[in-house]
Every structure is written in C-alpha cells, then in structure tokens.
Structure 1
Amino acid sequence: MFFTYLRRELRRRRKAALVVASGLALGIALVIVVNSVSAGMKQAQGEVLESLYGLGTDMTVTKAQEEPEEGGAVKRPRFKFDASDGGEQSNDQLMVQGFETLKSSTVDTVAGQDGVADAVGGLSLTSISISGDFKPGQMQPAQPAQPGQQGGKGGSGEVRGGGADFGVNSFTVFGTDVTEPDLGPLTSSTLTKGRTFKESETDAKVAVVDSAYAKKEDLATGDKVTVKGEKFEIVGIATADKGQAAANVYIPLKQAQTLADAKGKITTVYVKAADSQEIAAVKDAIQDNVPDTTVTTSEDLAETVSGSLDTAADLASNVGKWLSYVVLAAAFLVAGLLTSSAVSRRVREFGTLKALGWKSGRVTRQVVGEALVNGLIGGVLGIGVGLAGAYAVTAISPTLTAELGGGLMGGGPGGSAGGGLRVAGPGGAGGPVQEAGQRTLDIALGAPVSLATIALAAGLAIGGGLIAGTFGGWRAARLRPADALRRVE
C-alpha cells in the first residue's frame, strides 16, 4: 500500500516533485564540482612541491640561519687572477648554495627520530667558471713640449690600450646519495636516456644531467662534463616531470663533498615520514632533538606558493565552498517549504485518510517517503551534473601558474638561502650568476572526483529529502479528520 500510494502521488504531482529534485540537484552538483576542483588544487600543489623535493619527501631539514656577528665579514666568493702577464686566465669555484651546511651525521640523527621512515642527505652546489685574458696596455712616449708649455723630453708617457675580456659560465650541481635512489630531488625527474647511478658508484666520476642543460650545452650520454676541473662521464639524462629541474648536473655525494672542500658536509636532509598523518609530530620531534636546524614541511612550502594557482586555490577553498554551502542550504529550505506547501493543499486528502483509520505516524511516513524519493532523484541528477562539470574542468585543463620565491629550499636545490651570488663583470657591472631567485611552474588543473565526494553527495541527497519530509510530515501530523469536512481542493 505504501509504495502504491507513493507511486501514484509522485506521478500526479510530477511538476512539484521535479522542482524539489532540481533544487537539490543544483546544490549537490555545485558541492561536487567545488570539492573536485579543490582536490585538483591540492593535487597541483603537491606536484609543485614534488618538483622541488622529489617523490616521497615529506619534509626537509636544513641549517638554521644564523644572525651575522656585528662587524663580522660576510661570506663572498673571491676570484683571484694574476694580471702581471698577458694571456689566458681562468678560475673555477664550486660553492655551497647558501653557504650553510650540516654534518653528514645529521642524517643518522634525523633517521633515528620517532616517525621517520627514511632520511637521506644531499649537497647543493653552484659551479662558476670565469675565463678570459688580460691585454696589457702600451706605454706611449712623452711628446716634446711645445713653445710656451711646460714639460719636454724628460716628461713621462701614457699607458694606452689593454683591458680584460672575461666570460662567465655557471651551473648548479647536486651531490646525491646514490645508495638511496628513492628519496631526494632526482626523483622529481624521469630518466629519458642512459641509466641512473649504481649503488656501487659512491665515489665514481659519473654524472646524470638534466635534459634542458644537456640540450643547451649539446651534451649526450658518454660525453664528459667538467666540474671544478674534474671530468665526469655522463651516464644518463633526466627530464624534470614538472617545471625546472632541481639541478643541472647530479654527481655522487662523496665526489661533490671532495670538490667543494666540504667533506662530511651536506646542505639538506630529505625526510620521509612513516605516517603521512603524523608529519607535524615528526617535525616537532626533529626540531626538539636536532639543534640548529630548520624543518620545512609541504604545508610550510604551500604557504609560499603564489601566482594564479594560489589565487584559484583560495577562491575554491573559501568563496567556492561557502557559495556551495549557501546554495545547498537554500535548496534544502526551498524543498522543505515546497513540501510543506504541498501538504497544505492536500488537507482534504490527509483528513479523509485519517478518518478512514490512518494514524498520524502513517501519514507522516507517507509524506517523508515522498520527500525522500524526491531527494534521491535530486541526488542522482546532482551527481550526474556534478560529474559532467568535473569532467569538463579536467577536459579543458586550465593552466595555472605557481611562483616559487627564492630561498624556499633553505639552501637546497631551487633556492639559495644566502640570497644569491653576484659576480662583477668587466667594468664593475654586476652580472647575475645565480640560481633563479624565483621559479615559475605551469600546472594543468584537473578535477578528480573521489568516492568520498560521491558518498557525500548521496548523503546530502538523503539529508535533503529527510529535511523536506520533516517539514511536510510535521504539518501533516497536525491535521485533524474534521478539517477534511471544511476544506475543498
């Protein structure tokens, strides 16, 4: 009887049922799209952070910045040349980015903290080579003094001509622990040619080169790349998965430490947490137990990402979610009012049913059942429209820009805690020879729909039907059989 009466009433009041279902569908669809876009934003931010640290890295540990002592000398590179003779001059420098290092033993200390699954150290360096030649000036003899002028043959001559012509070549080098291939910045690139490091090549003169740098310098596997006068055989070429690579050249950590005169030193510890839900607790443990360090998590870095990605993420998480909640609340309210209004128009019907022996509870259940079916229909429509909207966003894949400010890595790849290096060129012109102070990545936005989002939509559909049914059921329960004799539809 319940289902027979329910089917008949829904057919008889198709327009009213469609209005209620459509209102709920709009709110549910908006919730699905906004949640999916927000998930896409988080995914895009994750891709940005992976491009900095590599896959699997949950946080990094770097040397805490120290306040310089008053009157203390600021660390700056010095390039010395002998200008007494003409000819070719050159000077190579391999410097630690940021000039701040940790002891290699810090890796073991960090790895021993509760909640740390794995830790690996790396050394981020900048190689700068300046080469050119000096041309000594020529002494011009003094000219005889003219009548009425002072001077004469005994006067000194002038030095004319000469000068210097120097070129500057710089690139970034990262010393990687070849025994830990699954953690660190190199994992953010995909090997496209050759091979990666072998675990036995801890002190070998082999290198993996970023594909963009290899193309620029016309390098291929089997060629040699020179780092501070030492030649390394290129065994592989890797392409950054997103944006810019962490370094131009990757070499074994031990070789990097030797060439940079930084034996037993690293710039960054890359940490993988045992449980992604306990990252904050692991960060606190490291900060408490490993002195003079700065721990940076993915959440910390996400706060430094700017550009259209950050703006869109703010809109999706703030304006978008609040808008979807307001629309959904309005849809619930409208559904409840329409259901209550429908009950008002069915006073004679419900009064007659009560006169025939229907209890108030049975009438209420009938009204709630009708509203619940309307909610389920609205849920199906809303899920369909929401999935279509999310698919449209993914198909269009709008491109967002993420700008990563300098110093994000605290001296690691992609940033320089020391604020960047400048080398004076000929005539004192300051030519920048540094890793880019700001990296810009283009990220394609998607809108993945999770099962949790669909479950939320189904819950909202049921909840909307129950809310609407509660409005109508409360009104129907208050009707008396005598009302049927005084009201005519």
Structure 2
Amino acid sequence: MFGIYLKRELGRRKKAALVIALGLALGIALVITVDSVSAGMAQAQDKVLKSLYGLGTDMTVTKARTAPAAGGSGRPDFSFDAKSGGSSTQSSDRVTTQGGQTLKSALVTEIAAEKGVASAVGALSLNVTKVDGSFTQGTAKSSGGGTGGPGGGTGSTGRPQVQGGGADFDVDSYSVVGVDVAHQSLGPLSAMKITSGRTFTSAQTGAKAAVVSASYAKEKKYKVGSTFKVSGTKVTVIGVATPDSGESDTDVFVPLKVAQTLGDAKNQVTTVYVKATDSQRISAVKKAITADVPGTTVTTSADLASTVSGSLSTASDLATSVGTWLSVAVLAAAFLVAALLTSSAVSRRVREFGTLKALGWPSRNVTRQVVGESMVNGLIGGALGIALGVGAAWAVTAISPKLTAQLGGTGGAGGMGGGPGGGGPGQQASRNTMEIALSAPVSLTTIALAVGLAVTGGLIAGAMGGWRASRMRPADALRSVS
C-alpha cells in the first residue's frame, strides 16, 4: 500500500518533485566538482614534491653548512703547475660536497631505529667542477731602439712588452649523487625511471658505474657503455634515467661508497631520507629526530608544500578555502529550499492528510509517507548531482588547464633539507619552475559522499514536512472543503 501510494503521489506532483531534486542536484554537483579539483591539486602538488624527494620519502634530515673559517673563502680553488715552454695543457677537477654539512653514516642507522621510522637511507651530494685548457707562453719584446746608456747617450730604450700568449680554459660543472644501491626504493634515484640500460644491483656497492640523467646524457652524448672520468676515476654508464615528473637536478648517480671516495668523505652523507611507518606519525617522528639528533634540519613534504608558489598554489588555496565554503553555502541553501518546498507541498495537501487521518491513518504513517517521498526526491537529486559533478570533473580533465609551480623561497645550503643532487630543495627550487596539467579525479569516496548528501537532504526535507503533516487534524480537512 505504501509503495503504491508513494508512486502515485510522486507521479501526480512531477514538477514539484523535479524542482526539489534539481535543487539538491546542483548543491551535490558543486561539492563533487570542488572535491575532485582539490584532489587534482593535491596530485599536482605531489608531482612537484616528488621531483625533489623521490617516491616514498616522508622527510629528509640535513645539517646546515657552517661558515668558512677565518681567512678562508670557502670557494673552490685550482692549482696549476707553471711550466716553461711554448704551451702547456692543464686539467683539474674540484669535487666538493653540497647540500649542507656532512653527517656521519652511523646517523642513518640511528635515525632508522627511531620509533615510527620504517626505513632510512643516506645519500651524498657532490658538485664536480672541471677546469680544462691550456696556457700559451708569450714573447717579451722591447719597443723602440737606441744605443744610449744610463746617464747619457742618444735615443731611448723602451720597456719590454709581452706579446702573444694567453690562456684558453673550459669550465664544466655537474652534480653527482651517491646512492645506497641496496635500498634504491627510497632516496633520490627512486624518483627516476630507467629508460635505457639498467640500474645498480645490490652487489655494486663499490662499482665504478653510473646512471646518468637523460638531459645530461644528451648534452654529453653519453649512452649505455660510454665512459668518462670523475676526478681521475673512470666510470662506465650502465643506465640512462628520466625523472617521473619535472626535471632532475642530478646529472650523475653513482654508488654511495664511490661518491664518498670521490668527495674524500669516507663514512659520510649529506642527506638522510626517511620513511615513516604511518603518515599520521610524520610530525611525531620529526620531533623525535630533531630532539635526538641536535643541530640537524628535518624537512617534511608539508614543509616543502609551503614553499610552492605560482598559479598552482593560488588555485589550491582557492579550491581549499573559497571552494569549500561556497560548496557548504550552496549545499545548505539546497537543503533549506528542499525543506521549504516539501513543507509548502504538505500545507497544500491539508485535505488529503486530514482525510487519511479521518480514515484511521496514524500520524506515524503520514510522517512516513512524507519522508518516503522526500527520500525519493533526494535520491533522484543525488543521481542527477553525481551525473553533473562527474561531467564537470571530466570537462576539467579534458580541458587540462596548465598550472605553474615555482619551488623555493627558503634558500641557503641545506636550508630545506638536501634534495636530490642539489643544495637542498630551497636552492633547487629557486631555479626550478614546473608546468602541471590539472586533472579532477572522481573517487569512490566522493561518490559515497554524494549519496550521503542526497540521503541527508531527503531526510532534512522529509523531517520538516513530516513534522508539519503529523500535526494536522481530521477537522482541518473539513474546514478546507469549500
């Protein structure tokens, strides 16, 4: 009886039911769109951060570089032998650590033992500056002539002048990062995808092998099997890699032990990459490491996220703040309109409900009837809202507006925790601008939220209408008869 009556009443009031459903649909569609765009913003930001951290990294531990000692500039210096002869070819490599002050390798084990830490690996960032060229000795010649000597004589003798000679040097600078070949799933190399050759094996801890970035390989015309020297050490290219997103600031990856030898930094690292056991424990792990390892800087992805600027940051803030409040306001208005329309429809059915009560219907049956109709309207609105919201999200993904992200704003060596191959994300960010295509993924959670909102809207509207219907008396039906 209930189902038959419900179907007949909804069919008799199609326009009113459609208006209520559309009101709810618009509110739900806006919520889906904003939630999907916010999820797309989060994905875009993750792409930006992965270009610095690598997959699976929750935080990095570094130590700021100390000021140079008195009398020292802290700048690289090059020494060349002064040799006689027409020309002399000179070549010198200067290998320095970058990304902050070095840390003892034993610190990696200490951090890995912290409560809440799933794993930790160390990496050593180096900068190699190669100066290569030649000197050409000039010839000293006198200008002018004459025979006079000191104190008299005729003519004049000019001062000797050096003619010819000079120097022609080429300066090449590139970055080298030593990685723990036994734990490549965490750290700088984890953000790279091997496009040619292969990566290191766990047994290649001391191998004179290298994985180079695709951009550096193209610049130097390296391929798998090519060899080159780093500070006199000959290494062989075993793989060419491309970053999963953005651009890599690391040119060459070598095993950690090899990097420590090149940089004269035995048992030292510049960055410790840390993976927490649970994302909810990242903050607690950061506090524990900061307290137990004084003098270090612990940087989380949330810290780096605060340095992202550009249209990505602006759009993310807009979606998070304005978009969320706009969704809440529109949804509240949709619920209120649905409730008022349902209540108004009940007041126009005084004769109907009064007659039903006169025939013996209890108030709970009348209330159930109104709530049932409102629930159906809510579910219809939910279905329409999901369709509209998914359509809007699809349109955003199809159009794929481009967002730019500039990383940085902190500066200083090690100021933000050493990122792969550079002086910390703060330094790389100052020169790293990325362009990200925005997408708006719709998750099952978002769909479930839409269904929940539809049911909630139906319940709110039905509750108001049902309460009003339950208060009607059979006498009201008689008074409404003209």
TM > 0.5 between the two? yes
Structure 1 residue 40 and structure 2 residue 40: aligned? yes
| Partner amino acid, structure 1, of 2:417 | G
Q: Which amino acid aligns with 1:35?
A: D
Please give the secondary structure, in 2, of the residue aligned with 1:438. Answer: coil
Q: Is contact 1:310–1:402 with CA below 8 Å preserved after alignment?
A: yes
Report matched runs for 1:9-20 at 5 Å: 9-20=9-20
Report what 1:424 is aligned to: none
* Counterpart-to-counterpart distance in 1, 2:416 and 2:447: 38
Instruction: Let me know the Cα RMSD of the aligned residues.
Output: 2.4
Provide the C-alpha distance between the structure 2 equivalents of 1:222 and 1:368, rounded to a whole number of angstroms: 75
Q: Is the contact between residue 211 and residue 253 of structure 2 (CA under 8 Å) also seen in structure 1?
A: yes
Tell me the number of residue pairs that the alignment of Structure 1 and Structure 2 aligns. 471
Q: Does residue 189 in structure 1 map to residue 192 in structure 2?
A: yes
Structure 1 position 356 matched with structure 2 position 356:
no
Please show how residues 2-401 of structure 1 align to structure 2 within 5 Å.
Answer: 2-64=2-64, 66=66, 68=67, 73-82=72-81, 85=84, 86-144=87-145, 152-401=155-404
SS at match of 1:203: coil
Partner residue, 1:413: 420
- Once the two structures are superposed, residues 110-148 of structure 1 have per-residue CA deviations (whole angstroms, 9 ceiling, x without a partner) of 011011111110001111111222334433313258xxx
CA contact (8 A) 1:207 1:250 kept: yes
Following superposition, the deviation at residue 155 of structure 1 comes to: 4.2
TM-score relative to the length of structure 2: 0.92
CA distances 1:360-380 after superposition (whole Å, capped 9, x unpaired) = 222222111111110011011
Q: Is the contact between residue 415 and residue 436 of structure 1 (CA under 8 Å) also seen in structure 2?
A: no
Find the residue that maps to 2:432 and give its secondary structure: strand
CA contact (8 A) 2:250 2:422 kept: no
Query: What CA distance in whole angstroms lies between the structure 1 residues aligned with 2:403 and 2:71?
Result: 44
Alignment correspondent of 1:443: 436
Counterpart of 1:334, as a letter, is: V
For 1:333 and 1:300, how far apart are their aligned partners in 2?
41
Instruction: Name the CA distance, whole Å, in 2 between partners of 1:132 and 1:160.
Output: 20
Alignment check: 8 A CA contact 1:190 1:241 kept: yes
Q: Secondary structure at the match of 2:474?
A: coil
Give the whole-Å Cα distance in 1 for the aligned partners of 2:391 and 2:258.
54
Cα distance in 2 between the residues matched to 1:468 and 1:219 = 69
1:472 to 439, 451, 465: 465
CA positional deviation for 1:440: 1.8
Asked if the contact 2:382–2:450 (Cα under 8 Å) also holds between the matched residues in 1, the reply is: yes
| CA deviation string 1:442-477 (max 9, x = no partner) | 222222222221111111001001111122122222
2: distance between equivalents of 1:230 and 1:414?
19
Query: Structure 1 residues 273-282 or 7-16, which shifts more?
Result: 273-282
What SS does the corresponding residue of 1:100 show, helix, strand or coil?
coil
Structure 1 counterpart of 2:149 = none
Q: Which moved more, 1:185-194 or 1:347-356?
A: 347-356
Alpha-carbon shift at residue 31 of structure 1 (Å)? 0.7
Give the stretch that moved more between structures: 227-236 or 47-56.
Answer: 47-56
Contact 2:140 2:163 in 1 (8 A): yes
CA distance in structure 1 between the aligned counterparts of 2:154 and 2:35, rounded to whole angstroms: 89
Shift of 1:181: 1.9
Does the aligned pair in 1 maintain the 2:225–2:238 contact within 8 Å? yes
Give the alignment's TM-score, normalised by structure 1. Answer: 0.90
Looking at structure 1, the residues matched to 256 and 65 of structure 2 have their Cα atoms a distance apart, in angstroms, of: 23
Compare 109-118 and 357-366 and name the one that shifted more.
357-366
**Any gaps of 5 or more consecutive residues in structure 2?**
147-152
- The residue that corresponds to 1:431 in the other structure is none
The 3-state SS of whatever aligns with 1:153 is coil
Residue 453 of structure 2: aligned partner: 460
Maintained 8 Å contact 1:415/1:437: no
CA spacing shift, 1:292–1:358, aligned 2, 3 Å:
same
Once residues 218 and 185 of structure 1 are traced to their aligned partners in structure 2, the CA distance between those partners, rounded to angstroms, is: 23
> What letter corresponds to residue 482 of structure 1 in structure 2?
A
Q: Assess if the C-alpha contact under 8 Å between 1:188 and 1:240 holds in 2.
A: yes
| CA distance in structure 1 between the aligned counterparts of 2:15 and 2:125, rounded to whole angstroms | 68
- Counterpart CA distance in 1 for 2:438 and 2:81 is 55
- 2:220 and 2:91 map into 1 onto residues whose CA distance is 19
- Corresponding residue of 1:429: none
Preserved CA contact (<8 Å) 2:145 2:156? yes
Note the alpha carbon deviations across 1:164-192, whole angstroms, 9 max, x for none. Answer: 32211111111011111211111111111
Deviates more, 1:310-319 or 1:158-167: 158-167
Are the equivalent residues in 1 in contact too, given 2:17–2:377 (CA < 8 A)?
yes
Unmatched 5+ stretches in structure 1: 421-434
- Is the 2:123–2:179 Cα contact (8 Å) retained in structure 1? yes
In 2, Cα distance between the equivalents of 1:17 and 1:411?
60
Counterpart in 1 of 2:150? none
Give, in whole Å, the separation in 2 of the partners of 1:351 and 1:107. Answer: 79
Alpha-carbon offset, residue 51 of structure 1: 1.8
Percent of aligned pairs with the same amino acid: 61
Look up the equivalent residue of 2:309 and give its one-letter code.
Answer: S
Distance (Å, rounded) in 1 between the aligned partners of 2:474 and 2:53:
73
Q: 1:200 to 1:93 in 2, by over 3 A?
A: same
- Output the CA distance in 2 between the equivalents of 1:73 and 1:485: 103
Deviation at 1:95, TM superposition (A): 1.1
Instruction: State the Cα deviation string for residues 310-342 of structure 1 (Å, max 9, x = none).
Output: 122111111111111111111111111111111
The aligned amino acid for 2:219 is K
Distance in 1 between residues matched to 2:80 and 2:449, nearest whole Å: 70
Equivalent position amino acid for 2:173 in 1: S
Q: Is the 8 A contact 1:59 1:271 kept in 2?
A: yes
Q: Which secondary structure does the structure 2 equivalent of 1:482 belong to?
A: helix
Structure 1 residue 382, shift from structure 2 partner? 0.8
CA contact (8 A) 1:96 1:124 kept: yes
1:441 offset after TM fit, Å?
2.2
Q: Distance in 1 between matches of 2:419 and 2:436?
A: 22
Deviation at 1:299, TM superposition (A): 0.9
